Amino acid sequence: MFHILFYDYVPDIIERRGPYREDHLSRAKAAHERGELVMVGAVGDPVDSAVFIFRVDDPAVVEAFVRADPYVAAGLVTDWKVRPYHVVVGK
Protein backbone atom coordinates (compact mmCIF):
# COMPACT_ATOMS: atom_id res chain seq x y z
CA MET A 1 0.00 0.00 0.00
CA PHE A 2 1.15 3.54 -0.71
CA HIS A 3 1.01 6.53 1.61
CA ILE A 4 1.73 10.16 0.78
CA LEU A 5 3.44 12.38 3.32
CA PHE A 6 2.80 16.08 2.78
CA TYR A 7 5.07 18.69 4.37
CA ASP A 8 4.37 22.43 4.55
CA TYR A 9 7.56 24.43 5.02
CA VAL A 10 8.42 27.76 6.61
CA PRO A 11 8.60 30.54 3.98
CA ASP A 12 12.41 30.73 4.16
CA ILE A 13 13.11 26.98 4.07
CA ILE A 14 15.90 27.32 1.49
CA GLU A 15 17.84 29.76 3.68
CA ARG A 16 17.29 27.84 6.94
CA ARG A 17 17.67 24.19 5.93
CA GLY A 18 21.48 24.15 5.61
CA PRO A 19 22.46 22.79 9.04
CA TYR A 20 19.83 20.00 8.81
CA ARG A 21 19.86 19.11 5.11
CA GLU A 22 22.52 16.37 5.13
CA ASP A 23 20.84 14.49 7.98
CA HIS A 24 17.38 14.99 6.43
CA LEU A 25 18.55 13.62 3.07
CA SER A 26 20.49 10.73 4.58
CA ARG A 27 17.37 9.60 6.47
CA ALA A 28 15.34 9.81 3.26
CA LYS A 29 17.99 7.84 1.35
CA ALA A 30 18.04 5.18 4.07
CA ALA A 31 14.24 4.83 3.87
CA HIS A 32 14.57 4.54 0.10
CA GLU A 33 17.25 1.83 0.42
CA ARG A 34 14.97 -0.11 2.79
CA GLY A 35 12.26 0.01 0.13
CA GLU A 36 9.93 2.18 2.20
CA LEU A 37 10.32 5.50 0.39
CA VAL A 38 9.63 5.42 -3.35
CA MET A 39 10.33 9.07 -4.12
CA VAL A 40 10.39 12.52 -2.57
CA GLY A 41 10.62 16.03 -3.89
CA ALA A 42 10.17 19.68 -3.09
CA VAL A 43 7.13 21.54 -4.43
CA GLY A 44 6.77 25.13 -5.52
CA ASP A 45 8.86 27.92 -6.94
CA PRO A 46 9.85 29.19 -4.48
CA VAL A 47 9.77 25.95 -2.49
CA ASP A 48 6.94 25.89 0.05
CA SER A 49 6.25 22.20 0.57
CA ALA A 50 7.35 18.63 -0.16
CA VAL A 51 5.72 15.33 -1.08
CA PHE A 52 7.01 11.90 -0.06
CA ILE A 53 5.62 8.68 -1.56
CA PHE A 54 5.99 5.69 0.75
CA ARG A 55 5.23 2.06 -0.04
CA VAL A 56 4.43 0.60 3.40
CA ASP A 57 1.49 -1.25 4.88
CA ASP A 58 1.49 0.63 8.16
CA PRO A 59 1.31 4.46 8.24
CA ALA A 60 3.15 4.29 11.58
CA VAL A 61 6.34 3.79 9.54
CA VAL A 62 5.76 7.15 7.88
CA GLU A 63 4.91 8.79 11.20
CA ALA A 64 8.16 7.44 12.68
CA PHE A 65 10.04 8.99 9.76
CA VAL A 66 8.43 12.35 10.55
CA ARG A 67 9.25 12.14 14.26
CA ALA A 68 12.93 11.48 13.45
CA ASP A 69 13.24 14.12 10.70
CA PRO A 70 15.57 16.98 11.67
CA TYR A 71 13.50 19.41 9.55
CA VAL A 72 10.52 18.70 11.80
CA ALA A 73 12.58 18.94 15.01
CA ALA A 74 14.06 22.28 13.86
CA GLY A 75 10.62 23.76 13.15
CA LEU A 76 11.15 23.98 9.38
CA VAL A 77 7.98 21.94 8.80
CA THR A 78 4.93 23.94 9.83
CA ASP A 79 2.41 21.17 9.16
CA TRP A 80 2.37 17.62 7.87
CA LYS A 81 -0.12 14.88 7.13
CA VAL A 82 -0.10 11.27 5.95
CA ARG A 83 -2.78 10.04 3.55
CA PRO A 84 -3.34 6.63 1.97
CA TYR A 85 -2.71 6.68 -1.78
CA HIS A 86 -4.66 4.32 -4.02
CA VAL A 87 -2.93 3.86 -7.38
CA VAL A 88 -5.41 3.62 -10.24
CA VAL A 89 -3.05 3.73 -13.24
CA GLY A 90 0.58 2.59 -13.04
CA LYS A 91 2.45 0.10 -10.95
Q: What is the pLDDT of residues 76-89, one digit of tens each?
A: 999 999 999 999 99
CATH number listed for the domain at residues 2-85 = 3.30.70.1060
Q: What is the pLDDT of residues 55-65, one digit of tens each?
A: 999 999 999 99
User: Which runs of E-coded beta strand occur in 10-46?
Assistant: 37-44
87 in Cβ contact with 46 (< 8 Å): no
> What residues in the chain have per-residue pLDDT under 70?
none
Cis bond before residue 46 (omega within 30° of 0): yes
